[in-house]
């Protein structure tokens, strides 16, 4: 069975995503699509608009055949870690021939040139980046400046200016660095840009749709017909995040004291004091972020740090997980075609595939052995996923008493 892999967030699934899905299958001549999707916290350091289960239902209703979760430590991280975890997940599932992603360029050449340069010149790029960081640049700006100087072709250098191109470059790097057998494909992004707050025709960015929903504007025109009722039902039921809840939980955690923040992943030396001081006066989430942010830190970097803090991610555990890669695959949703694919590719699978977590401990023990270090590290991945799910539930407007939902939620099936 010919399968194409997609790396997604679907926050929420919109017409642009549907275009990407359809074009990817056509370009790859694929019979089915497999999406690795961020869970409840996203790459830009934000909780998702709706939880991973509802976003899986939307993806299946739109025609995605299989959805697996990208573990939190990769999903809520910088572009290189996000890309590496996603590529490793798709590879470990087995049987996927192509990885297709959207980009502003719509062609692989310039992106591959940048990816190759970043791999070959990695030591030099890092050394020069550190120098620019000490001068007050943030990391993305520093890296872009260095690569523009290294790249003789302005058209290639321009690829560094757009968010989807940047992610595409990281996907290409990850394919090379992991030795993946998947072939890369790209399609041009359609319509509104990644950060655009307004729609263009029937296409709007996920950022724009979230902004419109917040301001009470109509968004149905930007969603596939079958998906709008799913999303609106969730909104009515309060299954969306309340930023005020996020602020209060963060403040309660930070105000335990600056010394308690040490050792949290991405809270670098000295930032714990800045976090504590900002928490003393912040009255809004925006105010907290602004109080923490300095020139060397992007807003996204601050948001990701707050998500790590919210979920009590220990720095040493995070680094071990990032170095090892995903230790199991969490199946969120599956169509009948997806079931056939899983059966056909079973012998190629390199990690345990888990539905709900009711039997996960036995599955991990059988795969790794109860006394192995890999098993203990897999339990750390599990604990982090459970914590992220529970904390996300606390952020929802329609808060319920249920905890540890991953143990109870069934694998989603189409309609």
DSSP assignment of 197-236 equals: SS-BTTB--HHHHHHHHHTT---GGGS-TTTHHHHHHHHH
Q: pLDDT tens for residues 275-305?
A: 999 999 999 999 999 999 988 888 999 999 9
- pTM across the whole model: 0.94
Q: Which of 23-32, 43-52, 184-193, 200-209 is predicted with the least confidence, judged by mean pLDDT?
A: 184-193
Long-range pairs for 202-206: beta carbons < 8 A, 24 or more residues apart: 202/15, 203/14, 203/15, 203/16, 203/19, 204/14, 204/15, 204/16, 205/14, 205/16, 206/9, 206/10, 206/11, 206/12, 206/14
Q: pLDDT tens for residues 92-113?
A: 999 999 999 999 989 999 899 8
Instruction: Tabulate helix, strand, coil % of the chain (nearest 5).
Output: 55, 10, 35
pLDDT category of residue 8 using cuts at 50, 70 and 90: very high
List the CATH code of the domain at 3-134+136-240+325-383+400-407: 3.40.50.620
- Can the peptide bond before residue 12 be classed as cis, meaning omega within 30 degrees of 0? yes
Average pLDDT over the chain reads 92
Q: What is the DSSP string of 50-89?
A: S-HHHHHHHHHHHT--EEEEEPHHHHTS-HHHHHHHHHHH
Q: Is it the case that residue 194 has pLDDT exceeding 80? A: no
Provide the 10 A C-beta neighbour count for residue 333.
27
Question: CB–CB of 150/121 below 8 Å?
Answer: yes
Q: Kindly state the percentage of the chain with pLDDT values over 90.
A: 75
Segments making up each domain of the chain, as ranges: 3-134+136-240+325-383+400-407, 243-318
Predicted local confidence at residue 191, as pLDDT: 61
Q: Which of 12-26, 207-221, 399-413 is predicted with the least confidence, judged by mean pLDDT?
A: 399-413
**What is the spatial order of strands in the sheet that 3-8 belongs to?**
183-188, 98-103, 3-8, 32-38, 66-70, 329-334, 353-354
Q: Is it the case that residue 195 has pLDDT exceeding 70? A: no
Look up residue 396 and give its DSSP letter.
B
β-bridge partners, 330: 69, 354
């Amino acid at each position: 069975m010919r399968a194409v892999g997609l790396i997604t967030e679907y926050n929420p699934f919109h017409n642009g995503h549907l275009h990407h899905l359809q074009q990817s299958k056509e370009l790859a001549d694929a019979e089915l699509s497999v999406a690795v999707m961020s869970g409840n916290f996203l790459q830009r350091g934000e909780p998702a608009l709706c939880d991973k289960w509802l976003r899986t239902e939307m993806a299946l209703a739109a025609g995605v055949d299989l959805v697996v979760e990208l573990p939190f430590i990769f999903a809520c991280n910088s572009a290189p870690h996000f890309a590496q975890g996603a590529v490793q997940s798709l590879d470990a599932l087995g049987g996927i021939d192509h990885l297709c992603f959207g980009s502003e360029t719509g062609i692989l050449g310039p992106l591959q040139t940048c990816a190759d340069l970043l791999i070959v010149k990695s030591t030099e790029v890092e050394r020069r980046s550190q120098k620019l960081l000490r001068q007050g640049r943030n990391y993305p700006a520093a890296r872009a400046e260095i690569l523009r100087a290294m790249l003789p072709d302005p058209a290639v250098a321009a690829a560094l200016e757009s968010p989807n191109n940047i992610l595409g470059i990281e996907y290409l790097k990850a394919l090379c660095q992991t030795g993946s057998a998947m072939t890369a494909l790209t399609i041009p992004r359609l319509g509104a840009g990644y950060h655009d707050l307004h729609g263009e025709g029937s296409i709007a960015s996920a950022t724009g749709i979230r902004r419109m929903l917040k301001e009470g504007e109509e968004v149905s025109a930007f969603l596939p017909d079958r998906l709008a009722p799913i999303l609106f039902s969730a909104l009515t039921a309060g299954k969306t995040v309340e930023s005020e809840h996020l602020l209060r939980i963060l403040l309660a955690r930070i105000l335990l004291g600056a010394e308690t923040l040490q050792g949290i992943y991405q809270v670098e030396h000295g930032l714990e004091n800045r976090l504590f001081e900002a928490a003393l006066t912040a009255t809004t989430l925006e105010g907290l972020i602004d109080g923490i942010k300095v020139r060397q830190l992007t807003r996204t970097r601050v948001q990701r740090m707050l998500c790590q803090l919210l979920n009590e991610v220990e720095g040493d555990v995070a680094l071990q997980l990032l170095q090892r890669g995903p230790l199991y695959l969490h199946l969120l949703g599956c169509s009948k075609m997806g079931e056939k694919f899983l059966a056909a590719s079973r012998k190629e699978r390199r990690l345990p595939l888990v539905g709900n977590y009711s039997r996960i401990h036995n599955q991990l023990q059988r795969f790794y052995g109860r006394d192995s270090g890999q098993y203990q590290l897999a339990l750390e991945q599990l604990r982090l996923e459970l914590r992220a799910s529970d904390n996300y539930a606390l952020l929802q407007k329609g808060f319920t008493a249920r905890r540890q939902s991953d143990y109870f939620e069934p694998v989603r099936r189409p309609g």
